[in-house]
Amino acid sequence: MSCTCGRSPTGKCVGWHNLSEEDYKDIKLAWESKQKSAEDAA
């Protein structure tokens, strides 16, 4: 399912539309960090 709220990092709905702005920023930072770690490990 595609996401129209603009918060999904993948373009597919991940449920982030229900988060407060503060929670969204925290989760986005954690997701970006996880992605960077995965890239560094590859």
**Token pair 């918060």 is at which residue?**
7
Give residue limits of the domains in the chain.
Answer: 1-42
pLDDT digits (tens, 9 = 90+) for 1-27: 898 999 999 999 999 999 999 999 999
DSSP string, 1-42: -B--SS--SSSB--SGGGS-HHHHHHHHHHHHHHHHHHHHH-
**Paired strand residues for 2:** 12
Residue type, 21: E
Is a pLDDT exceeding 90 seen at residue 35? yes
pTM for the model stands at 0.79
Using the 8-state DSSP alphabet, how is residue 13 labeled? -
Is a pLDDT exceeding 90 seen at residue 42? no
**Paired strand residues for 12:** 2
Using the 8-state DSSP alphabet, how is residue 2 labeled? B
